[in-house]
Amino acid sequence: MTHEARIIIVDDHPLVRAGLKALLAQEHGFRVVGEADGVAQTLELIREDEPDLVILDLALSDGDGLDLIQRLRRHYPALKILVVSMRDERLYAERVLEAGALGFLDKQAATEQIIEAVHATLAGRHYVDADILERILERFGGKVQGERSIYDSLSNRELEVLSLIGRGHPTGEIARRLHLSVKTIETHREHIKRKLGLSSAMELTRAAIQFELGVGATQEREDPAGHGHDALPANSDGRRRS
């Protein structure tokens, strides 16, 4: 009997999970054994169902996808992970691979590309957009050119805090969600403001909302960080169209 790859889909949007499940059901050799919308449910499903692959979004109902990837790599090193997200590839693809996932794919990708990415990651191969792979290789070689994300200087945790601010969560709630103190979150807020050249809480909130909307994700390499709102133009969504 041919082995069916056991897959768990993790996304906080039910319609996205349903769409991915329907797509995978059309492909021979794939079986979706579970769905989850957050970290806790994902961990429970993995313990129960022992999947071969987790298809994962980065924005989850009760945590952060990057943190979850790192936890899964520590506790389930044989588990394959493919990230399918609307997050800016130029900012997140390399971070996702460093955390332990094998691939990163934009949710706007064609269905054939999604199936190709699933096959590749199940086979243990890395899968990212060709342009992103070239950019990663250039970074390793110290030859990065052209546009970069204005958020490159932020740590993974700072990106997570910025995202939660952009989704309307107050400081106390962010602290509870991340299991950190309010003081630590306030420190992260100040670091984000400094790195992005923002001078007030209002500017931080505006930048965080733009970040969540995918607005103003890039700036020219020669343009230094810290230009406040001038570094957050409203005419670029920072996402690859497929």
- List the chain domain ranges: 5-139, 147-231
Torsion angle, alpha carbons of 12, 15, 18, 20, to 10: -80
* The CATH classification of domain 147-231, taken from the options 1.10.10.10, 3.40.50.300, 1.10.600.10, 3.30.360.10: 1.10.10.10
Average pLDDT over residues 86-105: 90
Tens-digit pLDDT profile for residues 120-145 = 999 999 999 877 777 767 666 655 55
Q: How much of the chain, in percent, has pLDDT values that exceed 90? A: 64
Q: What is the pLDDT of residue 140?
A: 60
Tens-digit pLDDT profile for residues 144-185 = 555 567 888 999 999 999 999 999 999 999 998 888 999 999
